């Protein structure tokens, strides 16, 4: 008995069905991938936030430096050593004061959804920055940096780690915002779906935050500094201003 093969019409039908099934399943696969990357990113920020707390426990309530390479006690140092650009940036992380508190796990400094090191001219590794008010970089005397943990009021509401994609090639200084006007200073990074970023907080928890202003998403897409907030928007900036860590007035 001879076996009959598929006719051209039948083959085209099979191909069409396979294409339809792939088309239906692809969005679900993308959602699963995004959820997995978000979960890893949040866990990374929990690890960094807990390491940040361990540092102050070992140092009489003093906070680790929130800049990059300005002092010997900064949480990370600038790129150094020999090898590839990525290896030099990793070495700067290893030399930072926070590294031993994360268990020597270099990958916790990188969000898995951060694709910059795969793009031409965007060779970067570290995905996170410290907010300037947490013993980091100041901005035109608009806030006083907290140098001790006791300087931070309501730590569960104050973020320390922010996702940032500094267009200069690696995240320099600290992430800062101007509380005096409706203008961003540093852009945010949005790597989780089209409107979500991860934040790590001063009490050790981390979460993914949903942005609501279209100008925030556009600022992230362009990665431009000093972006104004439209008059009819501003909820995202108000959220970041209310959670920005700094020394409150009555702190000893």
The per-residue pLDDT for range 111-150, each reduced to its tens digit, is 998 877 655 556 788 999 999 999 999 998 899 999 999 9
Instruction: Give the distance from CA 37 to its chain's centroid.
Output: 12
Residue 96 has pLDDT above 70, yes or no: yes
Residue 81 has pLDDT above 70, yes or no: yes
Residue 8 has pLDDT above 70, yes or no: no
How far apart, in whole angstroms, are the C-alpha atoms of residue 245 and residue 16? Answer: 55
pLDDT band at 198 (very low <50, low <70, confident <90, very high): very high
How many CA within 13 A on the CB side of residue 107?
A: 6
The residues pairing with 161 across neighbouring beta strands, listed in sequence order, are 130, 200
- Contact status, residue 141 vs residue 132, Cβ threshold 8 Å: no
Predicted local confidence at residue 17, as pLDDT? 67
The model's pTM: 0.84
């Amino acid at each position: 008995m001879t076996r009959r093969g598929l006719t051209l019409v039948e083959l085209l039908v099979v191909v069409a069905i396979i294409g339809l099934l792939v088309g239906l399943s692809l969005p679900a696969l993308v959602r699963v991938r995004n959820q997995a990357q978000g979960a890893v990113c949040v866990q990374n920020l929990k690890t960094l936030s807990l390491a940040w707390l361990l540092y102050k426990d070992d140092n009489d309530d003093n906070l680790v430096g929130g800049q990059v390479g300005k002092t010997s006690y900064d949480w990370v140092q600038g790129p150094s050593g020999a090898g590839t650009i990525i290896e030099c940036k990793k070495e700067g992380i290893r030399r930072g004061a926070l590294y031993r508190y994360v268990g020597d796990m270099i990958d916790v400094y990188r969000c898995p959804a951060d694709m910059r090191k795969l793009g031409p001219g965007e060779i970067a590794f570290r995905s996170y920055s410290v907010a300037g008010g947490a013993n980091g970089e100041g901005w035109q005397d608009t806030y006083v940096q907290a140098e001790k943990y006791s300087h931070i009021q309501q730590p569960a509401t104050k973020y320390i780690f922010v996702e940032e994609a500094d267009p200069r090639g690696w995240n320099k200084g600290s992430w800062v915002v101007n509380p005096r006007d409706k203008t961003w200073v540093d852009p945010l990074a949005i790597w989780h779906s089209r409107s979500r970023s991860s934040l790590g907080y001063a009490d050790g928890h981390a979460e993914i935050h949903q942005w609501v202003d279209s100008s925030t998403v556009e600022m992230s897409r362009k990665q431009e500094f000093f972006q104004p907030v439209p008059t009819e928007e501003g909820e995202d900036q108000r959220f970041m201003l209310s959670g920005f860590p700094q020394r409150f007035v009555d702190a000893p």
